[in-house]
């Protein structure tokens, strides 16, 4: 078991490096750099920047060096000092801008993950056990609908309904009085009252896909001989269901973290932009548009690292609950 975890952790290292390099390359891809964008912005307000000033700016930000050098400097700063570089646009260290937003992103993703599981597990089991019942058909219809509606559209429709029918603005994660306030019990509570809508929106599509996974897993397990063995022992249907097929169908369910988390984070990006949530996404979009490369790079890096850690956790959990992996 320990060997498994160590091996798995070892594999994280190249993955993390690959992710960081990927993030850096992505940020470098656009033609031109921040200074070009900056000059263009100034030019639109009739300010002219001469070549000298531009060169000075580039030198100050280190943009005149080769890409690999820039990358190594960047990654060295992160590893040794937790320094993600400077945001050109905000003129302050990236690390000061991202952590609270990343934390909220994580809260949103985790809350959606829990909501997804809480819904998908019982529904999936029900659908499998009562295969072809009215309930099963109803849930199947829901899953197809949930998989078909883009999350931003769902967010828009809900916003429209709230605005037109109830005259409410449902965007954001905080009420206006808490927006800039320091953390307190009141602010936590306020967060919870706002969190449910994005969580619900995000959970729809992931719940839909997970119900299908759970239903298929259960349908695979239900006709297995060990279920018949348990039945022949005289166990009641409910007890044997919970103890055997459900328990075994849970294993692939746990490994869903590995792909559910990236999906949820992807989905949350779009939803956060539509609902204007103070998570990483709107700032990421903005920094991408402005080619604020260190800021965008930090976000892409952290978001990818988050999902890598998610798949690590799911692997370890899986090994914990499945003796076939643990005792291999």
154-173 residues in contact with another protein (CB under 8 A) are 156-157, 159-160, 163-164
Question: Applying CB under 8 A, which part among 48-56, 112-120, 172-180, 244-252 lies near another protein?
Answer: 244-252
DSSP for 19-63? HHHHHHHHHH-SSS-HHHHHHHHHHHTT----HHHHHHHHHHHTT
User: How many of the other CB atoms lie within 10 Å of CB of 309?
Assistant: 13
Q: Is 54 in the site for another protein (CB under 8 A)?
A: no
Place of tokens 């692939």: 252
Structural tokens at position 222: 């239900």
Q: Is 231 in the site for another protein (CB under 8 A)?
A: yes
3-state SS class at 211: helix
Shortest reach from residue 313's CB to another protein, in Å: 12
DSSP 8-class letter at 149 = S
Question: Per-residue string for binding with another protein, 91-120, x by CB under 8 A?
Answer: ------------------------------
In angstroms, the CA 131 to CA 114 distance is 25
Structural tokens at position 33: 């750099």
Q: Is 5 in the site for another protein (CB under 8 A)?
A: no
In angstroms, the CA 310 to CA 157 distance is 31
Binding-site member from 153, 181, 188, 192 for another protein (CB under 8 A): 153
Q: Is 39 in the site for another protein (CB under 8 A)?
A: no
Shortest reach from residue 327's CB to another protein, in Å: 7
Positions in 199-228 near another protein (CB under 8 A): 223-226, 228
Q: Is 285 in the site for another protein (CB under 8 A)?
A: yes
Total residues at the site for another protein (CB under 8 A)? 76
Q: Is 136 in the site for another protein (CB under 8 A)?
A: no
Q: Is 62 in the site for another protein (CB under 8 A)?
A: no
Structural tokens at position 207: 């719940």
In angstroms, the CA 309 to CA 226 distance is 34
Q: Is 55 in the site for another protein (CB under 8 A)?
A: no
Smaller CB separation from another protein, 27 or 115: 27
Binding-site member from 21, 58, 266, 320 for another protein (CB under 8 A): 266
In angstroms, the CA 104 to CA 108 distance is 6
Smaller CB separation from another protein, 82 or 150: 150
Question: Per-residue string for binding with another protein, 299-328, x by CB under 8 A?
Answer: xx--xx--xx-xx---------xxxx--x-
Shortest reach from residue 28's CB to another protein, in Å: 9
H-type alpha helices, 62-93 = 67-81
User: How many of the other CB atoms lie within 10 Å of CB of 249?
Assistant: 23
């Amino acid at each position: 078991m320990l060997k498994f975890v160590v091996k798995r952790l070892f594999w994280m290292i190249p993955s993390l490096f690959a992710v960081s390099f990927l993030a850096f390359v992505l940020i470098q891809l656009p033609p031109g750099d921040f200074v070009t964008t900056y000059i263009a912005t100034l030019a639109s307000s009739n300010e002219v920047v001469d070549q000298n000033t531009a060169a000075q700016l580039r030198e100050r930000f280190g943009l005149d060096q080769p890409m690999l050098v820039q990358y190594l400097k960047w990654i060295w700063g992160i590893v040794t000092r937790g320094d993600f570089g400077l945001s050109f646009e905000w003129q302050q260290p990236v690390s000061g801008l991202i952590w609270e937003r990343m934390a909220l992103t994580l809260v949103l993703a985790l809350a959606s993950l829990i909501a997804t599981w809480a819904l998908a597990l019982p529904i999936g089991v029900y659908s499998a056990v009562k295969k072809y019942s009215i309930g099963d058909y109803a849930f199947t219809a829901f899953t197809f609908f949930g998989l078909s509606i883009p999350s931003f559209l769902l967010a828009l429709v809900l916003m429209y309904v709230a605005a037109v029918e109830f005259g409410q603005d449902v965007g954001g994660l905080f009420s206006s009085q808490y927006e800039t306030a320091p953390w307190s019990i009141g602010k936590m509570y306020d967060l919870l009252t706002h969190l449910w809508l994005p969580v619900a929106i995000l959970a729809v599509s992931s719940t839909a896909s997970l119900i299908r996974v759970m239903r298929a897993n259960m349908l695979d397990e239900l006709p297995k001989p060990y279920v018949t063995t348990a039945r022949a022992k005289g166990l009641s249907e409910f007890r044997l269901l919970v103890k055997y097929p459900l328990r075994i169908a849970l294993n692939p369910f746990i490994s869903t973290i590995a792909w559910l988390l990236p999906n949820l984070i992807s989905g949350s990006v779009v939803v956060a932009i539509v609902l204007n949530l103070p998570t990483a996404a709107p700032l990421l979009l903005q920094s991408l548009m402005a080619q604020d490369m260190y800021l965008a790079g930090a976000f892409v890096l952290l978001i990818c690292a988050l999902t890598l850690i998610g798949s690590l956790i799911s692997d370890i959990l899986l090994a914990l609950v499945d003796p076939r992996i643990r005792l291999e």
